[in-house]
Every structure is written in C-alpha cells, then in structure tokens.
C-alpha cells in the first residue's frame, strides 16, 4: 500500500508558470491587462474560435452567454442532470426555468432524443455539457436547435482539448464556455473563457465588466481616458493578468499534458478491462476525448461492495477519488422547487450511483498509476469480487 496519499487531481504547474506570474507582479499589471488580452488571442487561435473573452470562471461565461441571448423570465433552457450545479444555477439566475432531460448510458452526455421531446414553445436554449471531456452529439443537437430556433450553448468545462469530428470544441460560432479551475486540464487557478462570434464577444466585454463602454484596463493605459459610460447593468466577471499568466504557459504545454492523460487512460483501460467488473469510459470513433475525468462504473451484480464503500476502501489505501456528479435533481433546492424525484432520470441515477472518478492528471507517474490499479484490485479481492 502507498505510504503517501495520492490526490485526485492537483494542478500541474511548473517553473514556467511561476516565472510568468512573477513577471506580471513586477510589471504592475495584476488585474485585467495585456496578458489577459494575449491569453484571449492565443486561446482563440488554438481552438480556432472566431473570438474569445477571458472571464473569472466558466460559471461567468455560461451566465454571460445566457444574458447576451436575452434569456429570462418565462423562458426554458434544457440541460442535463449530470453536471456541476453551476450549469443549472446560471439558468435560475436569469429567471428562466431549467428543464432537465436524461443522458446517454455510454457517454453520460445529454440525450438528443430526450432534448427533442422536451422542447416547448417556451424553450429558448440548450446547454450541452461535454461530460468528462467526451463531446456531446453536436450534429444531432444542432439539428434540433436549428429546427426550433434555439441557441446551443456548450458547457466545455471538461473539454480542453476535445475534438468533435476533427474540429476542436470551441471552433464553431455558438457560445462555448470553458473552465480553468484548479483541477482542469488547463488551469488559471480560477477562470474561464467564452468563445463565439466577434459580435457576441464585443457585447460580452461590456456585460462582463459592469456594463462599461470600454475596456477597463485601457482607462489606466497611457492612451486611455478616465471617462466612461455605463450602457447596461453588467457584472464583475473579468479575468486578471495573474491568472492569464498561468494560462499562457499552460496553453503552451497543453498538448504534452493531454498526451500524458491519454497514456494514463491506456494503462487504466488495459488493467480494468481484464477485471470484468467495470464499465470503462467510452470514446466514440468520431471524437477526441479530452480525458478530464476517468469515470469508472461498477457493474453492481459483479461487485460485492457498494460504490461508497469502494471509495472509502481506496481512501484507506491512500488513493484519492471523486464522484461526478451528484445528480442535480436530487439536491434539496431542485427537489422542493420542481418536485423532482430520483427516479425521474433513471439513466443518470444508474450511472452516477455506480461511478468512481479515479486520479487522472499529467503529474501522475507510472508508479502512481500502478498504485491505483493495485488498490482497486486489492479492494475487489478483499470484498470477494473477481479481479
């Protein structure tokens, strides 16, 4: 058994990021400034987006996209119950009603057939979450949205650098929200990015910084002016240059970090496929998985130990894990407000009640991966399951 605890997903930072942050501190630009602009431009160019806006979080990006679309009271937005609460909370913040639909059993992504069935005259948008880094069926979702005049918003918190049919997520014109939280494939500690058309991003610049009619950092630049106007009641969603400094260096290392993630997934797949007691995460032939998560699912009738106990046993063996996610409709607020019951979304419940997210980050050594595999095998053996 390992002597030291193996964290589930710590940030993977190097001297390059540290040096870039120090440079920002010495420059005097610590809030939104030139490095934020550089990060926007380099991220835009990397994913092939028409335009990009760096923000304080993926939550901010999702909310901004909804606000720019004019979504509000009496509107409905369709999304998934298998996501972090922020995806649904931003719908509530606009005054609209979130409409949850069930997921596909293999990818755990939103099911397009159920999206189509949920469309009503009040539906304005669909928020599709690329669960774990596996792209949703975007062609099917776009067809539904085009047919009914709906906006497709992608929650790509897990999806750097995922590809759908050869194109990087974020390269289309619809709004796409990315997360750079500490555990993500590319981190800025906290932070996010919104991609989409140049026209949308131009309006987003105003909405995301108090409704001011010009970039705030230009007010303090040599060419700037102290005068500004407020053209809408906006938000405080800007990214700082300290965050962007980390992101600039993370972006340079993204391909290498993703290659390491894929290698770890290969090692996991080879080991766990032989055990015969798990459903392995899928990767469809028309996508490139970002592998933000490695969601392993227990086959209940083959494993003589409940999922929660399995997690406890791995922790006792110094292996950190997580669960993605607690389904939205099981939380107190959504149960009481909308009358949801656990059985309303049976696929989501079945998948998440059997799911364990194993450690997956580029800082894992091969020895760490072997420790995870050995801990899983030992836990199964102790429980009397086949391994």
Instruction: Output 86-94 pairs: Cβ under 8 A, ≥24 positions apart.
Output: 86/57, 86/58, 86/59, 86/62, 87/62, 87/127, 87/129, 87/155, 87/328, 88/328, 88/334, 89/59, 90/59, 90/62, 90/63, 90/66, 91/66, 91/127, 93/63, 93/66, 94/63, 94/66, 94/67
CB 108 within 8 A of CB 83: no
Verify whether residue 165 is a known catalytic residue.
Answer: no
Helix 307-316 × helix 366-383 angle, to 10° = 130
Q: How far apart are CA 387 and CA 378, in angstroms?
A: 8
Q: Are strands 295-298 and 355-357 parallel, antiparallel or unpaired?
A: antiparallel
Residue 121 CB-density burial (10 A; 0-12 exposed, 13-18 middle, 19+ buried): exposed
Q: How far apart are CA 47 and CA 318, in angstroms?
A: 37
CB 38 within 8 A of CB 248: yes
Strand order in the sheet with 355-357: 278-279, 295-298, 355-357
Catalytic residue among 37, 184, 218, 236: 184
The number of residues making up the chain comes to 387
Q: Give yes or no for a cis peptide into 96 (omega within 30° of 0).
A: no
Q: How far apart are CA 15 and CA 11, in angstroms?
A: 13
CB 192 within 8 A of CB 178: yes
Q: What is the largest CA-CA distance in the chain?
A: 72
Helix 15-27 × helix 241-273 angle, to 10° = 170
Q: Give yes or no for a cis peptide into 346 (omega within 30° of 0).
A: no
- The residues that are catalytic are 184
């Amino acid at each position: 058994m390992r002597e030291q605890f193996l964290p589930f997903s710590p940030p993977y930072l190097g001297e390059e990021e540290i040096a870039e942050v120090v440079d920002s501190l010495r420059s005097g630009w610590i809030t939104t400034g030139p490095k934020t602009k550089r990060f926007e431009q380099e991220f835009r160019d990397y994913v092939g987006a028409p335009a990009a806006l760096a923000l304080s979080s993926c939550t901010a990006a999702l909310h901004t996209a909804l606000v720019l679309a004019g979504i509000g009271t009496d509107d409905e937005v369709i999304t998934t119950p298998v996501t972090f609460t922020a995806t649904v909370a931003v719908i509530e913040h606009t005054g609209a009603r979130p409409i949850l639909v069930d997921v596909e059993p293999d990818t755990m992504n939103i099911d397009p057939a159920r999206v189509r069935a949920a469309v009503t005259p009040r539906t304005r948008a669909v928020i599709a979450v690329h669960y774990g880094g596996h792209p949703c069926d975007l062609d099917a979702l776009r067809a539904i949205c085009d047919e009914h005049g709906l906006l497709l918003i992608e929650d790509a918190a897990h999806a750097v650098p995922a590809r759908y049919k050869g194109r990087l997520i974020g390269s289309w014109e619809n709004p796409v929200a990315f997360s750079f939280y500490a555990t993500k494939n590319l981190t800025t500690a906290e932070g996010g990015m919104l991609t989409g058309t140049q026209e949308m991003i131009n309006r987003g610049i105003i909405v995301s910084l108090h409704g001011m009619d010009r970039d705030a950092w230009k007010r303090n630049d040599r060419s700037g002016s102290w005068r500004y106007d407020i053209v809408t009641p906006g938000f405080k969603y800007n990214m700082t240059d300290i965050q962007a400094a980390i992101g600039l260096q993370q972006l340079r290392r993204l391909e290498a970090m993703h290659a390491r993630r894929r290698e770890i997934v290969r090692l996991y797949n080879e080991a766990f496929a032989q055990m015969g007691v798990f459903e392995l995460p899928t990767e469809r032939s028309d996508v490139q998985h970002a592998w933000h998560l490695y969601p392993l699912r227990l086959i209940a009738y083959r494993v003589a130990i409940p999922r929660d106990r399995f997690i406890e046993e791995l922790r006792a063996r110094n292996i950190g894990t997580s669960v993605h996610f607690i389904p939205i409709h099981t939380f107190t607020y959504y149960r009481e407000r909308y009358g949801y019951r656990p059985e309303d979304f049976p696929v989501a419940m079945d998948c998440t009640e059997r799911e364990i997210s194993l450690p997956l980050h580029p800082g894992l050594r091969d020895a760490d991966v072997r420790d995870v595999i050995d801990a899983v095998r030992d836990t199964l053996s102790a429980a009397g399951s086949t391994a």
